[in-house]
Amino acid sequence: MRNILQVVVFLTALFAIVLCSSENYAFSQMNKTGGYADQVKFIRFSNENVAYQEVTNGHLDSYFFQIPLHLVESAKKNSNLEVFEKEGLSYGLLINPYNASQTFNPFSIKEIRFAMNFLIDRNFIVNNILKGFSNPIVEPYGPTSPEYHNVIPVVDPLKIHYDLTLATKSIKDSMIKAGAIMDGTGKYTLNGKAVLVKILIRNDDLLRKSFGDFVASEVEKVGFTVVKEYGDLTKANRVVYGSDPADLEWNVYTESYISSSFSRYNPTTVSQMYAPWFGNMPGSQNPVFWQYSNSTIDDLTQKLVFNNFTSEIERNNLLRQAESAGLQEAVRLFFARSFDPYISSSKISGLINDYSAGIANKLSLINAIKNNTDNSTLNIGMKEVYQGAWNNVKGCTDFYCRIIYSLVADTPTISNPYSGDPEPSRNMWTYLFSKGPTDTVIVPSDALTWNPFNQSWDKNKNQSNSALTKVTMTPLFSNWHNGELMDKYDLLYSYYFPFEWSTDTKNNDKTFDAEYSSLIFPTLSLIKGIKFYDNNTFDTYVDLWHYDKKLVPSYGTLWPSEPWEITAATERLVADNKLSYSKSDANIKHIDQLSLNLPVQSELIKRELIKMSNENYVPNPLKGLISLEYALERYKSSIDWINIHHNAVIGNGPYYLETFNPTGGVVTLNAFRDNTYPFKTGIYSDFENPPELRIDRINIPKFLKIGDPYDFDLLLGLNNLSNGSNSFSGIIDHFISDRNNKIVVEGSTVINNISNNHSDSKGQHQLDESGAVTISLNASQTQELIPGPAKIKLIITSTESPKPLIQENTLIARP
């Protein structure tokens, strides 16, 4: 299952009792496990104005969608509300580059795709559509990402900006070269036929629709005949991601997506947005479809994701090259990132405003408390409650599923909400071997890997294998929601699954999903083995290394999100073509995608479990390891669960799925108050206040003499330091651009143990004079400037939180 990815790919890319209004209430929570709330209800409110009123009058505790922008100021003044800002949706375009022989596709021409960067006015989108609650972007990271300073050197030289004249000329030159002419109405034709551009526009809400309509109008202005088609995410999944690009059902899709998780190192963003192997580009890596391919981007991003580098410099160069190639290919374009205002009732405390997810995250919901009330049910409004299949292989790709499911199934690690660094959760890290990029450890002879060709566990018999990393883990087992105790066989099954379902053994392999395989198969060679011990600990051996040791233990994590028997039952259904794990495979076979929460599909799973019980069935990866009695007991417990709850969503998290009613728009989770659950209520309260980096003083001289040394200094501070520390460390990256916007000077200054030992009357720390940081440029660096205005950009991060603080100043370079 997908959790094995955390063994080899950090695609994931997510403690004190919270102060309450009543001491007695706080005392009553001390011996509880899981979240404060006994129940969490997710309720559909498609109309944001209605949701705003429902939170105001106390019927909703929070709304996990942005409120209308014209209500933000009144919300800030409303004593019944708290307003939280989060980095929201990114608005962009996905372009179909298929080069058709019968129907001309103008976007098969790279120069036309790239010209779209200059055709669409980003400032208009920011100011007129998103009403200023956003920033223009030209690449997928944006200025709030810790990776921003790494990609600036390849982004800025492209000088991407709104230039209608440039865009029109570039498009015209390419169209004429392709043989097109412009008729008397100002429209391009080719061989007597109008050149059509089919634009699929998301209309889930007014902002998405307005963005799409604006793009369509601009494309039409330069001479294309535009056909607009509207649809929600469900339609987009079918038309854009689930169809063959060669069918040309679409040319342009006005895409909006949630930014990936905030992380100090984020290779998944550049991979997800540009790399075909990741399965998110036209064709979705389905072998039946035409595929957009780019071996250069694939090679660069796989090196990034699989840590195929030996130093930080090499790693950052790979990132820059991948970003540069993706920008110039222009299959996916970026225009704006919103900063969405979310609201909650002022009666709710404990919400955690994660840097990437805002308050709409797992830790926030677990830590939320309703004050001055006996009602412990959290009522959370959402735009939708169901938009796609719920399964743990290639489902749960939408925001709504991810939020709800995060409470149902735990993960082996959590992401620190302010640094993005992995921290142990259900896997405790007890030993780590990981030295240098060439230092290895021998994989023992009894370490296991699954062989899908002979359907057995292989052992490293001759001890010929070695690995860069060995991690010893202690899993924190608990009861599944159906009452059965988790065990090593659940772990072992989740270890087996990716080998089985991402490897095509040919001969009409029924346990193979091409879309799943595109992402997973490249990781298999890095998995060197697993060894279990009688005390429930296990060692994992992985051929991955990183210069930042904080990341390395997460590569060896292993954790199942559902009992092995549920996975085994769905495997049989998928192999019999009754259901499919992935969307593209479902479309090809004209069957439904597996969704564990749907009563009809849950009934199929239950019937399969009954058949397995009647057959005395034991799955191949567990044969010889478990008793028949144990297997039959597992089947019975899951059958009983489905009979009672009418769903097959059986997790190991702090809440379980009680009811799922998509028609009525309500999903209800109840607290799993089980004494085997390992985490006490209030464990995440330390995350309530984010660290905040400040510039207390900056002294940059207005004039710079070319060829002379140049110094400037600044004074930094950091609020909410953890563990009572009075100092912090970080890095200041500086970039100086000349009047032509060319970066001519760049460098980094490491800051160690900056003093942070004075507080003002509000409790905010202020630096003393000894904490000033000086940045120096030598004469040869300033010699690179040309006379005229220049721009200096500082990107400052701290070790405690790598979220950039950006400062820009203008200075005059003179001879």
Max CA-CA distance within the chain? 89
The pLDDT assigned to 233 comes to: 82
Q: At what angle do helices 628-645 and 599-614 cross, to 10 degrees?
A: 160
User: pLDDT confidence of 173, banded at 50, 70, 90?
Assistant: very high
- Pair 451, 325 in one domain: no
Dihedrals phi, psi of 662, to nearest 5 degrees: -65, -30
The pLDDT assigned to 756 comes to: 62
Q: Is the pLDDT of residue 212 over 70?
A: yes
- Tens of pLDDT, residue by residue over 608-658, are 999 999 999 999 999 999 999 999 999 999 999 999 999 999 999 999 999
Average model confidence (pLDDT) for the chain?
Answer: 89
Identify whether 20 is part of a domain.
Answer: no
Q: Give the tokens for residue 197.
A: 């551009």
Give the HSE-up count for residue 139: Cα atoms under 13 Å, Cβ half-sphere.
32
Dihedrals phi, psi of 367, to nearest 5 degrees: -95, -5
Tell me the C-alpha distance between 796 and 748, whole Å.
10
- Pair 440, 292 in one domain: no
- Tens of pLDDT, residue by residue over 95-149, are 999 998 889 999 999 999 999 999 999 999 999 998 888 899 999 998 889 999 9
- Tens of pLDDT, residue by residue over 656-673, are 999 999 999 999 999 999
Q: Are 96 and 178 in contact (CB under 8 A)?
A: no
Residue with tokens 């563990």: 723
What is residue 561's three-state secondary structure? Answer: coil
Average pLDDT (790-807) is 89
- Pair 210, 92 in one domain: yes
Tell me the C-alpha distance between 391 and 567, whole Å.
10
Residue 481: name the closest of 350, 313, 656 by CA.
656
The pLDDT assigned to 600 comes to: 97
- Pair 705, 670 in one domain: no
Identify whether 377 is part of a domain.
Answer: no
Residues ≥6 apart with Cβ < 8 Å to 614: none
Identify whether 243 is part of a domain.
Answer: yes
The pLDDT assigned to 3 comes to: 45
- Tens of pLDDT, residue by residue over 436-446, are 999 999 999 99
Domain range for 201 is 88-337
**Measured torsion, CA atoms of residues 763, 769, 772, 774, in degrees rounded to the nearest 10:** 170
Q: Give the tokens for residue 534.
A: 């009688």
- Tens of pLDDT, residue by residue over 160-170, are 999 999 999 99
User: pLDDT confidence of 221, banded at 50, 70, 90?
Assistant: very high
The pLDDT assigned to 721 comes to: 67
Identify whether 378 is part of a domain.
Answer: no
Beta strands in 584-665 (DSSP E): 655-661
- Pair 700, 671 in one domain: no
- Pair 162, 234 in one domain: yes
Report CA-CA distances (Å) from 28 to 33, 109, 553, 681.
12, 65, 36, 10
- Pair 616, 701 in one domain: no
Identify whether 81 is part of a domain.
Answer: no
Count of domains forming the chain: 3
Give the CA radius of gyration of the chain. Answer: 27
Q: Give the tokens for residue 76.
A: 């800030």
What is residue 762's three-state secondary structure? Answer: coil
User: pLDDT confidence of 287, banded at 50, 70, 90?
Assistant: confident
Residue 588: name the closest of 498, 506, 515, 520 by CA.
515
- Pair 670, 549 in one domain: yes
Tell me the C-alpha distance between 154 and 159, whole Å.
10
Q: At what angle do helices 206-221 and 110-119 cross, to 10 degrees?
A: 120
**Domain-ending residue, one of 645, 662, 685:** 685
Identify whether 308 is part of a domain.
Answer: yes
Average pLDDT (545-567) is 94
The pLDDT assigned to 692 comes to: 84
Residue 673: name the closest of 425, 487, 426, 479 by CA.
479
- Pair 609, 741 in one domain: no
- Provide, rounded to the nearest whole percent, the portion of the chain with pLDDT above 70: 92
Identify whether 758 is part of a domain.
Answer: yes
Identify whether 396 is part of a domain.
Answer: yes
Residue 344: name the closest of 384, 379, 374, 377 by CA.
379
User: pLDDT confidence of 296, banded at 50, 70, 90?
Assistant: very high
Q: Give the tokens for residue 218.
A: 């601009």
What CATH number is given to the structural domain containing 733? 2.60.40.1930
Beta strands in 114-169 (DSSP E): 134-136
Q: Is the dihedral of CA 50, 56, 59, 61 positive or negative?
A: positive
Reported residue count of the chain is 815
- Tens of pLDDT, residue by residue over 248-279, are 999 999 998 876 678 899 999 999 999 999 98
**Domain-ending residue, one of 321, 337, 353:** 337
What CATH number is given to the structural domain containing 285? 3.10.105.10
- Tens of pLDDT, residue by residue over 345-381, are 999 999 999 988 899 999 999 999 998 776 689 999 9
Q: Are 170 and 183 in contact (CB under 8 A)?
A: no
Q: At what angle do helices 110-119 and 164-177 cross, to 10 degrees?
A: 160
Average pLDDT (16-40) is 58
Q: Is the pLDDT of residue 434 over 90?
A: yes
The pLDDT assigned to 26 comes to: 41
**Domain-ending residue, one of 685, 711, 733:** 685
Q: Are 640 and 482 in contact (CB under 8 A)?
A: yes
Q: Are 344 and 81 in contact (CB under 8 A)?
A: yes
User: pLDDT confidence of 730, banded at 50, 70, 90?
Assistant: confident
- Pair 608, 742 in one domain: no
Q: Is the pLDDT of residue 496 over 60?
A: yes
Residue with tokens 């142990």: 424
Where is pLDDT greater, at 763 or 526? 526
The pLDDT assigned to 767 comes to: 39
Q: Are 64 and 382 in contact (CB under 8 A)?
A: yes
- Pair 495, 408 in one domain: yes
Residues ≥6 apart with Cβ < 8 Å to 318: 300, 303, 304, 309
Terminal-residue alpha carbon distance, the chain: 63
- Tens of pLDDT, residue by residue over 678-724, are 999 999 999 998 888 888 889 898 999 999 999 988 888 888 766 55
- Pair 241, 262 in one domain: yes
Report CA-CA distances (Å) from 85 to 259, 343, 503, 806.
14, 9, 43, 18
